[in-house]
């Protein structure tokens, strides 16, 4: 038996001389093989060994066939991006070996011997024989591969059993028998040493958004399923009773928006979720929210466009759309978190600010964040709470749009004694009655727009800009959303500054100016073809000197980005 204590060395930080303890595992097969679920189980096993975990899922928009793979990266520090190279390659089919082995020639391989024909070194197991011996269905082949991986990596069987008991709701005993057969057939080759740290909650970005919204008082969620936002709908529907949330799936996206605004009018904190194509249908409702001053949180999880584009791949091309969607002028709040920890915190902030200022608030996600899985820091769970909006003090008569400082009118809801609550999509007076009087129209417009100043001032109390890497370096990488993961690792490796504006509307100009103080060269890194954040930043007087753009639907990896940044810096 060839057993090696495993000093993991796949990170670009290691390549620069700063050794870290980490491991990457790739499992691949075709749609229908349960690759996504298998990735979650592997992530949980590494989590139980004490590692921080990040899980990336890659899959085409096919129900069966195609090539699916999941990359699980585990480290002794927070990670939020996967690597190109992997240390363990788990191949349920030949295509997985053909596509991924050349990028990781020194990886340890575990192969389905029934389908993989390879002269490469590795451990083969017959899934067909194992499944036949246990009279198990084909989908349980992934349990066999997981069992073989665990033994190959020196993971105790007790850890495997614990994870299966917690995360395999159906056919538990049969799955365990299948996994155990494979576990006993292979040898320990490359040991992943445990770390003395307790397991952390593992959440997808969508789950973190869901829980952040609930923590801030959300009691209703309305959505029509659209990848990659659908995970929010599924998660909240599954846990609706525990979380105290009404979850509704209407017939289309227009109904989603209008039903949600009805919840808001009735005093229920509500959120909706969609992606770009669905959001197109909601934009008239966004303007209705702006005119009627109805608070609502809108999650827009980006995928590659235009139109249907790549339904299951990522992108950052909807920033300009979300910043300007809807006719007319009205304030809005837009935030773009980078990982599950930021998503949890900022989702709660978005809900609180929507209700404080009675505006639409946007959480701008993407496929990488929404469907990626991350370790959540426990201290973040207690960092947010629901905040009360300005409520009616029962002064009579009640005027829904009473002109007050900062443009915030006191809220009352239908059914309250002595309150007639009129909301209106037309230009209206303070009571809510339609008007075309120039003076009143002007007054109400000024009232709405005065919220901009109050909101901008309030945002200064939040960490609206994240700065990382070498924080005083004269060269900075500018990024937003999930791209921060790759940018931060490259910034650390090359001694660069990292600047990530988390709040994008109202743009945190003062915080950005401070974050960029002393920067002589700013390089934007974005997953779109037009440099949308770079344009927004320039519009606020901060110079951006170049851009590295990617728009093929796949996220940046640190190794890929490192090469591009070094090339740009050499010019």
Q: How do 52-58 and 373-375 pair as beta strands?
A: antiparallel
473 and 454 share one domain: no
The verdict on 264 and 178 lying in the same domain is no
Residue 196 lies in a domain: no
CB atoms within 10 A of CB 31: 17
CA Rg value for the chain: 25
Residues 273 and 378 in one domain: yes
pLDDT (0 to 100) of residue 571: 86
In a domain, 436, yes or no: yes
Residues of the chain under the 70 pLDDT cut: 1-20
Of 435, 459, 483, which closes a domain? 459
For tokens 């994870």, the residue is: 163
DSSP string, 482-532: GGHHHHHHHHHHHT-EEEEESEEES--HHHHHHHTTT-SEEEEEESSSS-H
Q: At 34, which CATH number?
A: 3.40.920.10
| Residue 337 sits in the same domain as residue 423 | no
**Residue after which a domain boundary falls, among 444, 459, 474:** 459
d(CA 45, CA 413): 49
Q: What is the pLDDT of residue 7?
A: 32
pTM: 0.95
**Do 93 and 143 fall into the same domain?**
yes
What's the count of helices (H) and strands (E) in the chain, helices before strands? 20, 22
Query: What residues contact residue 437 under an 8 Å CB cut-off, 6+ apart?
Result: 429
Contact 11, 22 (CB under 8 A): yes
**Of the residues 191, 225, 259, the one at which a domain ends:** 191
Range of the domain at 410: 405-459
Task: State how far the Cα of 401 lies from the Cα of 473, in Å rounded to an integer.
Answer: 49
Per-residue model confidence (pLDDT) at position 17: 34
Closest to 383 measured CA to CA, from 202, 203, 208: 208
Is the bond preceding 543 in cis, omega lying within 30 degrees of 0? no
pLDDT score, position 4: 33
Number of domains in the chain: 4
Beta-strand pair 4-5/88-91: unpaired
For residues 45 and 194, what is the distance between their CA atoms, to the nearest angstrom? 10
Instruction: Give domain status of residue 394, yes or no.
Output: no
Q: Do 505 and 522 sit in the same domain of this protein?
A: yes
Tens of pLDDT, residues 93-136: 999 999 999 888 899 999 999 999 877 889 999 999 999 999 99
Instruction: Clarify whether residues 182 and 256 are in a common domain.
Output: no
The CA distance from 542 to 493, in Å, is 25
419, 433 in Cβ contact below 8 A?
no
Tokens at 502, concatenated: 């988390």
Helix (H, G, I), strand (E, B) or coil at 537: helix
């Amino acid at each position: 038996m060839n057993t090696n204590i495993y000093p993991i060395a796949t990170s670009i930080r290691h390549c620069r001389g700063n050794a870290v303890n980490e491991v990457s595992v790739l499992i691949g097969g075709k749609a229908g093989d349960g690759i996504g679920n298998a990735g979650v189980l592997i992530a949980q096993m590494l989590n139980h060994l004490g590692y921080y975990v990040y899980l990336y899922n890659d899959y085409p928009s096919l129900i069966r066939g195609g090539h699916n793979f999941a990359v699980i990266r585990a480290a002794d520090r927070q990670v939020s991006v996967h690597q190109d190279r992997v240390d363990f390659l788990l191949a349920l089919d030949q295509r997985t070996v053909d596509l991924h082995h050349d990028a990781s020639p020194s990886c340890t391989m575990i192969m389905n011997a029934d389908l993989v024909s390879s002269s490469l070194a590795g451990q083969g197991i017959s899934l067909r024989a194992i499944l036949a011996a246990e009279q198990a269905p084909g989908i349980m082949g992934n349990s066999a591969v997981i069992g073989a991986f665990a033994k190959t990596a020196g993971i105790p069987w007790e850890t495997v059993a614990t994870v299966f008991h917690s995360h395999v709701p159906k056919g538990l005993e049969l799955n365990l028998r299948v996994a155990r057969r494979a576990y006993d057939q292979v040898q320990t080759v490359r040991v992943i040493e445990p770390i003395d740290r307790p397991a952390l909650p593992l959440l997808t970005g969508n789950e973190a958004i869901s829980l952040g919204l609930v923590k801030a008082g959300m009691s209703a969620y309305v959505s029509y399923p659209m990848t990659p936002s659908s995970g929010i709908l599924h998660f909240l529907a599954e846990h609706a009773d525990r979380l105290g949330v009404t979850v509704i799936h209407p017939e289309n996206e227009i109904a989603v928006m209008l039903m949600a605004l009805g919840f808001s009018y009735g005093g229920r904190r509500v959120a909706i979720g969609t992606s770009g194509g669905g959001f197109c249908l909601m934009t008239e409702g966004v303007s209705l929210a702006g005119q009627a001053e109805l608070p609502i949180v809108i999650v827009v999880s980006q995928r590659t466009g235009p139109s249907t584009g790549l339904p299951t791949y990522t992108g950052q091309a909807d920033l300009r759309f979300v910043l300007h969607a809807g006719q007319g002028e009205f304030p809005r709040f837009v935030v773009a978190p980078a990982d599950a920890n930021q998503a949890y915190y900022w989702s709660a902030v978005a809900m609180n600010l929507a209700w404080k200022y009675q505006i639409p608030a946007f959480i701008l996600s993407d496929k990488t964040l929404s469907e990626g899985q991350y370790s959540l820091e426990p201290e973040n769970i207690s960092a947010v709470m629901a905040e009360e909006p300005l409520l009616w003090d029962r002064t009579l008569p009640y005027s829904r749009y009473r002109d007050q400082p900062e443009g915030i009118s006191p809220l009352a809801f239908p059914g309250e004694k002595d309150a007639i609550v009129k909301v209106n999509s037309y230009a209206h007076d303070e009571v809510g009655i339609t008007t075309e009087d120039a003076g009143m129209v002007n007054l109400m417009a000024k009232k709405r727009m005065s919220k901009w100043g109050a909101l901008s001032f309030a945002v200064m109390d939040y960490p609206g800009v994240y700065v990382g890497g070498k924080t005083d370096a004269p060269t900075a990488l500018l990024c937003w959303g999930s791209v921060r993961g790759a940018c931060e690792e490259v910034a650390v490796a090359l001694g660069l500054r990292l600047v990530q504006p988390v709040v994008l509307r109202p743009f945190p100009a003062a915080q950005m100016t401070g974050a960029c103080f002393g920067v002589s060269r700013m390089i934007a890194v974005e997953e779109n073809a037009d440099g949308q954040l770079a344009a927004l930043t320039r519009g606020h007087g901060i110079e951006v000197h170049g851009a590295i753009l990617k728009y093929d639907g796949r996220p940046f990896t640190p190794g890929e980005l490192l090469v591009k940044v070094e090339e740009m810096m050499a010019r």
